Every structure is written in structure tokens, then in C-alpha cells.
Structure 1
Amino acid sequence: MVTLLLDSTRLEVVLSGTERLLAFHKGNVAIERSAISKVQLTDDVWTWLRGVPSPGTHVRGVLAMGTWKSAGGDDFAIIRRHRAGVVIDLEGHPEFERIMLTTRHGLALVQALRLDVADEAEAADVAEIAAKARKPRPKRASSSPVPVPGVS
């Protein structure tokens, strides 16, 4: 699974060695926060896939990794099975128009992007950023009945 790192200026999609090999991509994918125009959560990332892998790996319904070329522009995909994920639309990125990822941290990514991340020397995982920002929920009152004086 990809790791998403976020700091005050950019989002980085960190790829494992296997993901780099299957995606035919040498390094991580760095995206300036200013280039992100829209982030959408989706139940099935496959519906957003467009074009053909070039270079990339595609096993229908199982795996799609790499650069996808289409008339709309180049996209980058890391998709496994039919799982929930995130689609990130970009404007002004030098390589890609869209990034499509299967990740269970899609909601955390959306929440973290809304926050002003403190200027740190190191980027932090989006799941950790979102978890720190969550406020503890107030405790609920017990549901046991409260005795009322004079009523039996």
C-alpha cells in the first residue's frame, strides 16, 4: 500500500520497491499542494481509469500501476482490486493531470489537506496528521433510567 506524506508545501506518494517496479516509475510522486485542484473519495477507483498504460502494469480488475496516457492528459495510478480510494485532480503539475490511488486513508487525506500543516522539517503521514487534528468526542450520558422522586 502506498504511503501518503504531507507537509506545508507538498504531498508525496511514497512507493514501495514493488510498486516502483510495477509502475515503471523510478521515484516517489511529489505534488505541490498548490497544484491540487480537487480531491474526490470513491468506492471504486477503476471507474476513474482512462487511457492505456504507457509505461505501466495492468491486470484487469486486479492491478493497475503506472502512467496512463489518454487524450485528457497523463494520469498516475496505483490501483489494487476493487477497493475504495482517492482521485486527485491536478492543475499545473509537470507530469500528471490526475493521481488515482486505492487507499484506506482517503478520508484522512481530505481532512489533512484542509488543515494548515505546520512548517516541519519532515513530512508526516496523512493518517497521523488527521488523527492529531481530531477532537475527542464528548462522553455520552448513560442510558440507564434516572429515578424520579415521588414516582414509583
Structure 2
Amino acid sequence: MVTLMLDSGHLELVLSGAEKALAFRRRNVSIERSTITRVQLSDDPWTWLRGVRAPGTYIPGTLAIGTWQYAGGKDFALLRKKRPGVVIDLDGHDEFQRLIVGTRHGMALVTALRVDAGDDPTDIVDLASA
């Protein structure tokens, strides 16, 4: 399961070693908070996938992790089975236009983004409950 860390300037998707390998990435996904334009909760985040996997791992209905390229740019997806998730639209990010993340902590993310986080990265669940 992905860990979402938030500080005053960045949201970071902390990927495990296996997730990095499946996504063909060497580093976590880090975005500036200022690039976030919209966060939507979704009961079925699979419907938000667009384009083709390039690179990443895709097993229909089971696993989607990595970069999805489409005519307008790239998205990053991290989905497992039929979990709810969040869709985060970005504007001005140098790599992605959207993040599609399967997590049961979607409401905690929305709440944490409204909180003025400190300078130290903190798990969004801890921020939302503070």
C-alpha cells in the first residue's frame, strides 16, 4: 500500500521497493502542492485510467502501476484490485497531469490538504486526525 506524505510544499507518494520495480521508477513521486488543481474521491478509480502503459505493470482488474501516456501527456497510476481511491489533477507539474491512486485514505488526503502542514513530511492520516 502506498504511503502519502505531506509537508507545507509537497505531496509525496512513497513507493515500496516492489512498487518502484513494478512502476519501473527509481524514485518516489513528488509533487508541489501548488500544482494540485483538484482532488476527487472515486469508488472505482480504474475508470480514470487513460492512454497506454508506458512504462509500468498492468494486470486488468488486479494491478495498474506506473506511467500511462495519452495524447495530452502522462498520468501516474497506482491501483490494486477494487479499492476506492483518489484522482489528483495537476497543472504545471513537469512530469504528470494526473495521479490516480488506490487508497482507503482518500478523505484523509482531502482533509490534510486543507491543513497547513509543517516543514517535516508527515503521513496524511496523522495530519487529518490532528
More RCO (CA 8 Å, sep 6+): 2
Aligned twin of 1:124: 122
Name the SS for the 1:96 alignment partner: coil
Unaligned segments of structure 1, at least 5 residues = 133-152
- In the TM superposition, what are the counterparts of 1:5-84 in structure 2 within 5 Å? 5-84=5-84
Structure 1 distance, partners of 2:35, 2:124, is 18
TM-score for the superposition, normalised by structure 1: 0.84
Q: Which has the larger radius of gyration?
A: 1
- TM-aligned CA deviation for residue 117 of structure 1: 1.4
Alpha-carbon distance in 1 for matches of 2:82, 2:124? 22
Moved over 4 A (4+): none
RMSD: 0.7
How many Å apart are 1:72 and its aligned residue? 2.4
Aligned partner letter, 1:67: T
Q: 1 or 2, which has the higher strand percentage?
A: 2
Deviation at 1:73, TM superposition (A): 1.4
- Identity among equivalent positions (%) equals 59
Deviation at 1:5, TM superposition (A): 0.3
> d(CA) in 2 for partners of 1:31 and 1:52?
22
Match of residue 143 from structure 1:
none
| Structure 2 unaligned residues grouped into runs of 5+ | none
CA–CA distance in structure 2, aligned partners of residues 72 and 101 of structure 1: 19
SS class of match (2:126) = helix
- Give the structure-2-normalised TM-score: 0.98
Aligned length: 130
User: What is the CA deviation profile of residues 31-65 of structure 1, one whole-angstrom value per residue up to 9, with x for unaligned ones?
Assistant: 00000000000001100000110001000000000
